[in-house]
Structure 1
Amino acid sequence: MSELMDFGYKGKVAVITGSSKGIGRETALQMVKLGAKVLLVARGEDALKEAVSEISAFGEADYIAQDITESGAAEAIVEAAVQKFGRLDVLVNNAGSSFAKSFEDVEVAGWEEDIDLKVMAAVKMSKAALPHLKKQGGAILNLTAVMGKTPQANSLPTTVSRSAGLALTKAMSKDLGKHNIRVNAVCIGLIRSDQIEKRWQKQAPELSWEEFSVKSGGNIPLGRIGDTAEAANVITFLCSDLASYVSGTAVNIDGGSGHAW
């Protein structure tokens, strides 16, 4: 992110779920570097401590270890952010997991767990944040997946949950615009993550990351796996003042691999 641009983050407060690693952590780092105060949220306290230790070198950051699917967790997270930093301007609903099987292979409990994490947790977090966002306006960003736009075989239940996240984003943007609250989504494709790095070390440890990225990204128009920072760049922009007239949209971050706009 260019330091020459004013993204409008100075004095603002963000809550980012699923932010101890990967895209969430990188987004927290970018927002703090641009002047925001950020509360990181995840289940693993050790990873959160490590992330905050790094990010705090650039500004104000804190964490709360919570399972966002638990009763009362959303309210506790928002309250912690407001007590620590005095306000709330940005919510990034980033928590999620990869759970993709055929319809026949997914039990009802699997459906419930996936929808609870990827849809209902975003609903609960947004409801808890709403009274604070209404005070001065703000932004909500829902992380979804490109496959949510074009579900394929053996992609359940995650593509259904992600599709619901897209509908939630559009509907919320219509309802909350009157409060100057913008709601957008990003649809993630193949992005560097712990899971992909483990695959790299298992399948081709003799290759550099750049070589493995190109080899694995052969079917992607841009010819490689995306970097974590490239996803965080888009999220940070959409939640910033530079995107002040962008709401109700879902941006693909997939190197051109998706089959829908």
Structure 2
Amino acid sequence: MRVPKRLLLATAVLALALRRQATPAYDLAEKSVLITGGSRGLGLALAAEFLARGARVTLMARTAADLDWAAARLAAGDRVQTVTGDVTREADLHRAVAEAVRSHGRLDVLVNNAGLIQTGPLANITEADFRDIMEVNAFAPLRLTRAALPELRRRRGRVLMVSSVGGKVAVPHLASYSFSKFALTGLGQAFRAELAREGVTVTTVCPTVVRTGSPRQAQVKGQHRREYALFATVDNLPFLSLDAEVAARRMVDAVVRGDAEAMIGGPAWLLKHAQALAPQLTADVLALGNRLLPAATPGDRAVPGRAAEGLLTRSNPIKREAEREFNELGLPATPPAQDGKDPSKS
């Protein structure tokens, strides 16, 4: 008797779903985790979450002083190691993998978190900007994942790609950022499908804006003060943005479950499904919203967000607290301990 193709397909899908439900959660205890962009912002929050679940972490960032501050802030002794390097330099990526293995004897989880943010009208964003952001946000995760694959295969490890809701729906004045994050989301999907047979599980997360104080590090173009005021305010709106610790916990949960993809935060989930269900309406709404954003200016000069601060952004208490908590303001004399006490006074 011939079995209908639809029944075979439905049976296969059901079998995969049941297999996934029966798969035990990934135990992070004593696992070795390498995190890029680990000295501040979301990378620092992710490091704290992995440590809370019993893992050991290696933080990679460009500045040794920031890494030292982060390690002291995490206060986890030899469970935290650091490596200074630039994710756009392939030799540094290989050195980071080697350091994680040397420090902790293994590498189980790779977190591609380091990222560059550019904001401004499309007319002010150059082709060079597009190339620069692709190097950090897309090519660096590609190269680092490939460099780590021998270790990840050996450990049947996991990879976390930190993309963005901007990697699912392109947002006005974040054209180059969305361009790079779309590439990263696609890379995560491709790696997920091809590396599964080798025992490596790849999870891509697409968070809404997260309150980490990171707008200070963004490259701002166009009407600098107005662009930054809008970007930094939206990044810290309580009902639109997500608390960094909550975002980190949900991302690590996705790794533990072995999710293929996870939208982090209600706004990200809603925007993704709006795009899927009503792409024309979503495009029209975004185009209308773009009319309300600051217009382009002559030239293409970029300034860091911290150089475009104004009264509105300086006085935002939510923003300032996130900047202090996640090492975005520059290094204080002594990093605060995790319990909130000043170690210099203990």
Q: TM-score range by the shorter chain?
A: 0.7 to 0.9
For residue 165 of structure 1, what is the amino acid of its counterpart? L
Match of 2:244 among 208, 213, 228: 228
Confirm or deny: 8 A CA contact 2:35 2:58 kept in the other structure. yes
Per-residue CA distance 1:11-36 (angstroms, 9 max, x = gap) = 21000000111211111111112111
Q: Structure 1 50/131 Cα, relative in aligned 2: closer, same or farther at 3 Å?
A: same
For the residues of structure 2 that align with 1:113 and 1:14, how far apart are their CA atoms? 27
For the residues of structure 1 that align with 2:177 and 2:209, how far apart are their CA atoms? 15
Structure whose residues are more often helix by fraction: 2
Residue 265 of structure 2 corresponds to which residue in structure 1?
254
**Greater Rg over alpha carbons, structure:** 2
The question of 1:102 aligning with 2:121 is answered: yes
The question of 1:114 aligning with 2:126 is answered: no
Confirm or deny: 8 A CA contact 1:7 1:237 kept in the other structure. no
Match of 2:107 among 88, 98, 101: 88
Q: Structure 1 57/110 Cα, relative in aligned 2: closer, same or farther at 3 Å?
A: same
Match of 2:192 among 173, 178, 197: 173
Farther off after superposition, 108-117 or 93-102: 93-102
Residue 239 of structure 1 corresponds to which residue in structure 2?
255
The question of 1:183 aligning with 2:202 is answered: yes
Confirm or deny: 8 A CA contact 1:114 1:157 kept in the other structure. yes
Per-residue CA distance 1:65-96 (angstroms, 9 max, x = gap) = 11110131111110111111111100000000
1:17-36 pair list within 5 angstroms: 17-36=36-55
Confirm or deny: 8 A CA contact 2:33 2:111 kept in the other structure. yes
Per-residue CA distance 1:213-251 (angstroms, 9 max, x = gap) = 99834xxxxx253111011102212222xx14x3x32x2
For the residues of structure 2 that align with 1:197 and 1:141, how far apart are their CA atoms? 25
Confirm or deny: 8 A CA contact 2:62 2:86 kept in the other structure. yes
Task: Tell me the CA shift for residue 51 of structure 1.
Answer: 1.1
Per-residue CA distance 1:41-83 (angstroms, 9 max, x = gap) = 1112111111111324376011011111013111111011111
Per-residue CA distance 1:83-126 (angstroms, 9 max, x = gap) = 11111100000000211333332222111110000000000110
Q: Structure 1 170/99 Cα, relative in aligned 2: closer, same or farther at 3 Å?
A: same
For residue 97 of structure 2, what is the amino acid of its counterpart? V
Residue 163 of structure 2 corresponds to which residue in structure 1?
144
Q: Give TM-score scaled by structure 1 length.
A: 0.82
Q: Structure 1 154/54 Cα, relative in aligned 2: closer, same or farther at 3 Å?
A: closer
Q: Give TM-score scaled by structure 2 length.
A: 0.63
The question of 1:61 aligning with 2:77 is answered: no
May I ask how many residue pairs the two structures share in their alignment?
Answer: 235
Q: Structure 1 215/18 Cα, relative in aligned 2: closer, same or farther at 3 Å?
A: closer
- Structure 1 spans left out of the alignment, 5+ residues: 1-5, 203-211, 218-222
Residue 14 of structure 1 corresponds to which residue in structure 2?
33
For the residues of structure 2 that align with 1:91 and 1:213, how far apart are their CA atoms? 30
For the residues of structure 2 that align with 1:8 and 1:215, how far apart are their CA atoms? 33
For the residues of structure 2 that align with 1:188 and 1:105, how far apart are their CA atoms? 26
For residue 37 of structure 1, what is the amino acid of its counterpart? R
For the residues of structure 2 that align with 1:214 and 1:184, how far apart are their CA atoms? 24
